[in-house]
Amino acid sequence: MTVETKIDVAAPPIPSTLTTLAGQAAGMLAVLTLITGVAYPLAVTGIAKVAFPDQANGSLIVKDQKVIGSTLIGQPFEDPKHFWSRLSATTPGAYNAGASTGSNLGPTNEALTKNAKARVDALQAADPENKAPIPVDLVTSSASGLDPHISPAAAEYQVHRVAKARGIPEERIRAIVAKHTEDRDLGFLGERRVNVLLLNLELDEHKSP
């Protein structure tokens, strides 16, 4: 004889109305907005300001209680007594941090060739005695248009001009360049580089002998 046992399985509850679903969705949206849009940014910013106060505030350079720049953003220089930065493709002016961009010009574009030639002419006019090859970063812009660095080779190319304009021995200029030459990050990331703004600021503090 077989006895059949019947077990009633309750169906999962079904939300009664669309209003309930909408309320739940709105509640989750509000919670996630507070967590990811308010609490998390505030926590990360607070930690950064404590652990890395200089970087968190923009790596600003202050002189005589006045902000004169940032170590992260380049500035244009044209005076022969200063080291020149890379070209910048930002608009409406060079090194505009509010409009970071590259030139997007290809190697066969006439505008790129024209810009490079104009920079070559300017460099040669500023130091006609210098017959060394011009490093490529001195005649091209970076992808961001804000690069504050030049290569050690680009700095070395300009040593003669800066030393002559300031009446300072070249070896003294090279020593200052070496002081502001940064090594690769962690010893293998990126390339060695020279911060142009910091270099020029220190040069301006030195007096000719």
* Residue 132 to residues 22, 63, 128, Cα–Cα distance (Å): 71, 35, 10
Indicate whether 170 belongs to any domain: yes
Backbone angles phi and psi of 185, in degrees to 5: -65, 130
DSSP H/E element including 20: helix 18-34
Residue 41 preceded by cis peptide, ω within 30 = no
40 with 116, same domain: the answer is: no
Residue 73 burial by Cβ neighbours in a 10 Å radius (0-12, 13-18, 19+):
buried
Q: Are 44 and 99 within one domain?
A: no
User: pLDDT class for 209, splitting at 50, 70, 90?
Assistant: low
Between 185 and 18, whose confidence is greater? 185
Looking at the fold, whether 65 and 48 belong to one and the same domain comes out as: no
Q: Across the chain, which distance is largest between two alpha carbons, in Å?
A: 118
Query: Does pLDDT of 169 surpass 90?
Result: yes
**Which stretch of 16-25, 91-100, 148-157 has the lowest confidence by average pLDDT?**
16-25
Q: Identify the pLDDT of residue 46.
A: 85
Which of the two residues, 52 and 127, has the higher pLDDT score?
Answer: 127
Number of domains observed in the structure of the chain: 2
On the question of pLDDT at 61 being above 60, the answer is yes
Taking only the tens place, the pLDDT of each residue in 83-106 is: 999 999 999 999 999 999 988 888
The four Cα atoms 77, 82, 87, 92 give a dihedral, to 10 degrees, of 0
- Same domain for 109 and 187? yes
Both 154 and 93 in one domain: the answer is yes
Q: What is the mean pLDDT of residues 16-43?
A: 90
Q: Is 9 part of any domain?
A: no
Pairwise CA distance, residues 196 & 202, whole Å: 10
Which percentage of the chain shows pLDDT scores above 70? Answer: 91
Tell me the residue range of the domain where 198 lies: 59-205
pLDDT at residue 21 is higher than 60: yes
- pLDDT exceeding 90 applies to what percent of the chain? 72
**Do 44 and 127 belong to one domain?**
no
